Structure 1
């Protein structure tokens, strides 16, 4: 059974989500929060598997909620479900630790599948959100990760994937939404060479596609 907590400041939305999700044999709505501060408190109290989180809430907004959950080491997976289709929301939310980003016009059956996927460890983005990630929209430049130390971490215990300088350049280009042909032109190399670099980047990062690679770049300050 997947335990779900709903955080949204609109009672009608919360009730609608609860009514639908409770019809699923493998989902159990364990609580509702009307603002971000209440959501954090209920995550601490109830330890849900998945938190459905609206971004625009009073007291503490969705991004603030994500930050506070991370600060407190709370491990519930967070699936953003927002009605605000602002492309600039995607990268900050994913950087802050969200495991998925959907809009409230999502098909109900797709929402259920998304909850299951996020609970299973996947990262899931709505097509519009994925496009925003790949276009670099909303990506605020942050310092690049520190070089790896002898134990393969950045000095703060975080593992650093050993990309070559060229692979790092390709990753940045991927996160900017460029195609292999565009990357080849930008880096003045053959398109076949770019394909090889892209394959190596995906393999080293342990991701399946360019969207996942772009997410890695955003979360590690490379885009």
Structure 2
């Protein structure tokens, strides 16, 4: 995966183990203007180890020169909300490994957003406001698409809508986790959905949002 024009901004005291082998440019921020570091970049990976990282994010956004991925030292839903409200396109753990960094890069370069799946339900309102400008806007689920699902597949979808994990779904429906995964695989195929995060959004009436947000475990 090409990472030309990607830059990591971090503090002088922190560099994650995966960064040197993954990114070509890891910059320890000093006193120079942020623009000096971001000029020519297409994607900035900003670590929250940076003092006043929120202000740095705002400064980057004011230049309009690059998208920003916030890499959190200790991820929390509240901090994620702040990051996205300030214009970030993704929010991940600072210690994320190369496979996850690949996922984030792919999502953001495709024009989408990315955050951990565990935070997705809590973040639906935030994303809805960012993408539609109306925090409470909803789009009706296409009932003709759901009609293509079997009764059991629809039951699994309702469980996913509630945010239940496969183990909980299996217990609630009296089936095995393997069967839950098989149902989900068929649902994804029938509805043209990539993963359970998109399905969760889809079932909550966020059709446009489901196309723009990618989540991971």
The TM-score, its normalising length taken from structure 2, stands at 0.54
Deviations along 1:120-176, one digit per CA (max 9) or x if unpaired, are: 322110224424414x6xx7xxxx99xxxxxxxxxxxxx967x8xxxx6465xxxxx
How many residue pairs were aligned? Answer: 151
Q: Give the equivalent residue in structure 2 for 1:13.
A: 15
Decide which of 62, 65, 69 is 2:56's aligned counterpart: 65
Distance 1:8 1:129, change over 3 A: farther
Decide which of 12, 23, 32 is 2:27's aligned counterpart: 32
The TM-score, its normalising length taken from structure 1, stands at 0.53
Distance 1:36 1:63, change over 3 A: farther
Decide which of 38, 42, 51 is 1:49's aligned counterpart: 42
Distance 1:36 1:7, change over 3 A: farther
Decide which of 110, 113, 117 is 2:103's aligned counterpart: 113
Decide which of 90, 103, 110 is 2:80's aligned counterpart: 90
SS class of match (1:13)? coil
Which consecutive segments of 4 or more residues in structure 1 shift more than 4 A? Answer: 35-39, 168-171, 195-198
- CA–CA distance in structure 1, aligned partners of residues 71 and 25 of structure 2: 17
Unaligned runs of 5+ in 2: 139-159, 163-200
How far the C-alpha of 1:31 sits from its partner, in A, is: 4.9
SS class of match (1:121)? coil
Superposition CA RMSD, Å: 3.8
Whether 1:125 aligns to 2:115 is yes
- CA–CA distance in structure 2, aligned partners of residues 78 and 110 of structure 1: 16
Unaligned runs of 5+ in 1: 23-28, 146-158, 172-178, 182-194, 213-223
- CA–CA distance in structure 2, aligned partners of residues 32 and 9 of structure 1: 8
